[in-house]
A = this chain, B = another copy of it.
Amino acid sequence: MATINRNYDKLGGGYLFSEITRRTKAFQEKHPSIMLLRLGIGNTTQSLTPTVIKGLQSGVEKLADAKTYTGYGDERGDIRLRFAFANWYKERGINLTTSEIFISDGAKPDTANIQSIFGQNCVVAVSDPAYPVYVDTAIIGGRKIVYMPCIKDNGFIPSLPKGKVDIIYICSPNNPTGAVVTKKQLQAFVDYAIKYKAVIVFDAAYSEYITDKNLPKSIYEIPGAKKCAIEISSFSKWAGFTGVRLGWTVVPIDLVVEGSEKGKVNSLWNRRQITMFNGASNIAQEGGLAVLSEKGQKESKELISYYMKNAAIIKKGFSKIGLQVFGGENAPYIWLKTPQKMSSWDFFDKLLNEAHVVGTPGVGFGPQGEGYFRLSAFGNREQIEKAIKSIQENLKL
């Protein structure tokens, strides 16, 4: 008699973004003539840049001819792309070998699946609020969770966990708060991890939004990080690959955990991937190579600037109507304090009903997100300007 994994019953009511979709659809069915303005889900909206399109096209063309056709590739990723990453990190003063870099189909699957190579008794520390995947995956896997509150008083940067934990998720620039960890703050986590033989899973999906040179883009800028940190990142947000699906994960050879020598964790992730993953799409990987080219990187910077200007408009717009806003600098998310102590979902409904704007309730990211609201800079300019105008004209505060 097959049974189900009962841990699923312990999950919250629904994946946050699905619930937003549900409420939004319900509104649209009721008011089919109203055009909704989206400041919600962190979905990119701008076209891929010309160099990337060329890369993808050449990826498709190669498949049209048996001479250049490729089927299964290296499950860890095309060696050319892993070399390009090694160089990319090197330019930032970080030395990694190609065997430490794994190409994935995006940061989400890897931030989720990485837990499975660790012992089931490992305690997982996550920020509160946080990207829901960390928590949900820990619940599904039956792992104990410790929350690190990220509140206004600590600038939305988690304090070190109280007591011993084993796996620590840090996302910087942060989703949802837009807070960015400093080198000093990150050093404290690295020191903690080394002391307690914990592993940091550093979600760097938004790192390319950092323009302040003093802020760390990669955890490997921090001395000692290679001994304790896995870095997971993605092409989604800085190259528009949310639909194309491509990311990467770094598992350093030097990373050690309790009872395991150097290289062991790297080899486990390798074994996990060659067993349960069949590589990212070869077409997407050609696109990734194009992103990492000199021209591609230049174009990506323009794309990032576009979204960051959006962030500035949103931040200014909400400030102007008297709301408290955080983030939105070196990060594509704006974290808003709801007015009049409203709950996150009440503010969601208010924004939807009065201004026809869709945002993301902060409480969907954790209890400490209650009374907050996430706005995303990934919309198109015209929509964002309309949304801000609508808020300023229609929101009854």
| A109 located at the interface, meaning its Cβ lies under 8 Å from any Cβ of chain B in the complex | yes
- A residues 47-67 in Cβ contact with B at 8 Å: 47-48, 50, 53, 56-57, 60-61, 63-66
Q: Which residues of B contact A284 (CB under 8 A)?
A: 281, 283
Stretch of A110-118, A314-322, A336-344 contacting B (4+ beta carbons < 8 Å): A110-118
Which A168-186 residues have a C-beta within 8 angstroms of B?
A: none
Q: A70-B243, A243-B281, A281-B281 are in contact. Are A117 and B8 (CB under 8 A)?
A: yes
CB-defined interface of A183-197 with B at 8 Å, one 1/0 digit per residue? 000000000000011
CB of B41 within 8 A of CB of A66, answer no
The answer to whether A105 touches B281 (Cβ under 8 A) is yes
Residue A282 is within 8 A (CB to CB) of chain B in the complex:
yes
Interface locus among A144-152, A268-276, A360-368, A384-392: A268-276
Chain B residues with CB under 8 A of A26: none
C-alpha gap A46/B8 in the complex (Å) = 42
Does any Cβ of B come within 8 Å of A278's Cβ?
yes
| Nearest CB in chain B: distance from A281 CB, A | 5
Q: Is the CB of A281 within 8 A of B118?
A: no
A31 interface contact, C-beta 8 A? no
Stretch at the interface among A83-91, A119-127, A349-357: A119-127
Q: Which parts of A302-323 form the interface with B (CB within 8 Å)?
A: none
Determine if B264 and A4 form an interchain contact, defined as CB atoms under 8 angstroms apart: yes
Q: Are A140 and B116 in contact (CB under 8 A)?
A: yes
Contact with B along A1-15 (1 / 0, CB 8 A): 111111010010001
- Select one of B4, B47, B121 contacting A265, CB under 8 A: B4
Residue of B nearest to A139 (CB): B275
Binds B, one of A154-162, A208-216, A252-260, A325-333: A252-260
21 examples of A-B residue contacts, CB within 8 angstroms: A1-B166, A2-B118, A3-B118, A3-B259, A4-B118, A5-B120, A8-B268, A43-B71, A46-B66, A48-B63, A48-B64, A48-B69, A53-B61, A73-B243, A106-B278, A113-B276, A116-B140, A137-B276, A243-B282, A281-B284, A283-B283
The interface of chain A, by Cβ under 8 A from chain B, is 1-6, 8, 11, 15, 17-18, 41, 43-48, 50, 53, 56-57, 60-61, 63-66, 69-73, 105-106, 108-109, 112-113, 116-122, 132-133, 136-137, 140, 164, 166-167, 196-199, 236, 240, 242-245, 257-260, 264-265, 268, 271-272, 274-284, 378, 380
